[in-house]
């Protein structure tokens, strides 16, 4: 099939490359001309395991190409995915200016039937607005459909998630749209939820909000563990074996971040309020997450007493392992907060350093974890990269000024570290 993806970011590029791999002809579009120039040169502007290879092989097969011209893409594609960003506005609402802009440009350039699919995460009823926008700006009288097909991939395992999803959700209003999307996804073996557009839009917001709430729940439990001297990792292990609960998203830590959970929670709270429902549960989940970061800072202060002038290493900058994405990463909040108190920060991340250099000023970027911990008063592990799990702590102990370790993701065995002479601070343990 002939497909276009408008917006070539984490979701757009993975979707484009994966759909090309499945045998379709795909055009990836982006308004960022620099990004398109890089992609045309065979360079991939983001780090996602396996993506570079998947793009390269499908470009060679002539199934995948890149352009900054929406006109070219709309002209030759029957299915057009919108995968632009939907960041938060200051009032918490999703900024849908990109979606509106793309809908208008699709309308202007449509010359025959087109199926326009929302891939971006959007508030319920966005489909209605997209339909109205296209009807308003359409030049020729041609038929079109709008559909919702939210994406559930996780950065770090995005290609596997796209190819082997737990489910595919399709929100449609016509048989034609349903048939096109069912045909497109036929090679993927996964349960398919074919429903109406509003329900599909809500499935995405509800899913992300549920996962974020689950993290906040275990973080709240970690606070009680901390007060009584229990171990939240043990509590989570005992809870997670219950199939109704499951162990995923049940790890206490310094809070969730990333480009999705914080903004999707905000957007869901805001749209619910607009529609007349006060989603107090999600507000609580959000507050717990914010407080968790403040709690970690308090723990660090309790251990250091005076933060000013202290040297602190932060290992991990990305919001989770196996990605270079630092959007709303808790590590950045910690760093900024400690810096504002006068600490000297030394940081290291296996993949996110280039992106972090663009936003973090006044910190020392180190070549590796051992370089970062050299001569510091405190180490904070903010992202659970595999590389950090395997650190040689005998070596670390010799390098640091003071063996104080804040395990922000509970990835180490406290007993082992204590035996090595570390002052170990975990979350809820």
Ligand X SMILES: NC(=O)c1ccc[n+]([C@@H]2O[C@H](COP(=O)([O-])OP(=O)(O)OC[C@H]3O[C@@H](n4cnc5c(N)ncnc54)[C@H](O)[C@@H]3O)[C@@H](O)[C@H]2O)c1
Residue ranges binding ligand X (CB under 6 A): 6-12, 29-32, 35, 83-86, 98, 101-102, 120-121, 151, 153, 155, 259-260
Alpha-carbon radius of gyration of the chain: 23
Select 35 or 65, whichever has its Cβ closest to ligand X. Answer: 35
DSSP 137-180: H--S---EEEEE------TTSHHHHHHS-S-EEEE-SSHHHHHH
Select 9 or 350, whichever has its Cβ closest to ligand X. Answer: 9
Q: How far is the CB of 7 from ligand X (least distance, A)?
A: 3
Q: How far is the CB of 123 from ligand X (least distance, A)?
A: 11
d(CA 257, CA 251): 14
Q: Name the token pair of 21.
A: 């791999």
Q: How far is the CB of 324 from ligand X (least distance, A)?
A: 11
Q: How far is the CB of 10 from ligand X (least distance, A)?
A: 4
Q: How far is the CB of 177 from ligand X (least distance, A)?
A: 20
Select 85 or 255, whichever has its Cβ closest to ligand X. Answer: 85
Select 67 or 195, whichever has its Cβ closest to ligand X. Answer: 67
Select 9 or 428, whichever has its Cβ closest to ligand X. Answer: 9
Exposed/middle/buried for residue 90 (C-beta within 10 Å: 0-12, 13-18, 19+): exposed
> Any alpha helices (H) in 363-405, and if so which ranges?
369-373, 386-389, 393-399
- Choose the catalytic residue: 28, 225, 260, 378: 260
d(CA 211, CA 268): 13
List Cβ neighbours of 43 (8 Å cut-off, separation of 6 or more): none
Q: How far is the CB of 378 from ligand X (least distance, A)?
A: 31
Select 109 or 120, whichever has its Cβ closest to ligand X. Answer: 120
User: Half-sphere exposure of 295 toward its Cβ, with a 13 Å CA cutoff?
Assistant: 22
Bridge partners, 344 (sequence order) = 311
Task: Please give the backbone phi and psi of residue 390, each rounded to the nearest 5 degrees, phi first.
Answer: -95, 15
- Sheet of strand 423-425, all strands in order from the earlier edge strand to the far edge: 364-365, 344-348, 311-315, 378-381, 404-407, 423-425
28 is catalytic: no
Active site residues: 260
């Amino acid at each position: 099939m002939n497909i276009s993806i408008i917006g070539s970011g984490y979701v757009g590029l993975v979707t484009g490359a994966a759909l090309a791999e499945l045998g379709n002809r795909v055009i990836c579009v982006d308004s960022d001309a620099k990004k398109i120039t890089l992609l045309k040169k065979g360079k991939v502007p983001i780090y996602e395991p396996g993506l570079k290879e998947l793009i390269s092989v499908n470009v060679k097969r002539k199934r995948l190409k890149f352009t900054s011209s929406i006109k070219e893409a709309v002209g030759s594609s029957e299915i057009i995915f919108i995968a632009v960003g939907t960041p938060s506005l200051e009032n918490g609402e999703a900024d849908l200016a990109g979606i509106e802009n793309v809908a208008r440009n699709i309308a202007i350039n449509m010359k025959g039937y087109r199926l326009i699919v929302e891939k971006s995460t959007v508030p319920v009823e966005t489909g209605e607005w997209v339909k109205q926008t296209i009807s308003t700006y359409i030049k020729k009288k041609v038929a079109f459909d709008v559909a919702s097909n939210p994406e559930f991939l996780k950065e770090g395992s995005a290609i596997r998630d796209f190819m082997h999803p737990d489910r595919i959700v399709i929100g449609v209003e016509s048989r034609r749209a349903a048939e096109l999307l069912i045909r497109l996804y036929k090679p993927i073996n996964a349960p398919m939820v074919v429903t109406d557009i509003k329900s599909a839009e809500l499935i995405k917001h509800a899913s992300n909000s549920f996962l974020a709430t689950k993290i906040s729940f275990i973080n709240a439990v970690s606070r009680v563990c901390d007060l009584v001297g229990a171990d939240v990792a043990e509590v989570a292990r005992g809870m997670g074996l219950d199939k109704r609960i499951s162990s995923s998203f049940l790890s206490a830590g310094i809070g969730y971040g990333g480009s999705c959970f914080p903004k999707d929670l905000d957007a869901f709270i805001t749209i619910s309020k607009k529609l007349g429902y006060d989603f107090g549960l999600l507000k609580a989940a959000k507050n717990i997450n914010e407080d968790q970061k403040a709690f970690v800072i308090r723990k660090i202060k309790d251990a250091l007493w005076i933060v000013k002038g202290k040297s602190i290493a932060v290992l991990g900058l990305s919001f989770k392992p196996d990605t270079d994405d630092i959007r709303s990463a808790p590590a950045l909040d910690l760093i900024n907060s400690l810096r504002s108190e006068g600490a000297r920060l030394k940081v290291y991340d296996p993949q996110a350093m280039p992106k972090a250099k663009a936003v973090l000023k006044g910190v020392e970027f180190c070549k590796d974890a051992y370089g970062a911990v050299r001569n510091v008063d405190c180490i904070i592990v903010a992202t659970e990269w595999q590389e950090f799990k395997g650190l040689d702590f005998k070596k670390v102990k010799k390098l640091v000024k003071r063996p104080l370790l804040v395990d922000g993701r509970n990835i180490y065995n406290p007993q082992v570290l204590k035996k090595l002479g570390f002052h170990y601070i975990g979350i809820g343990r």
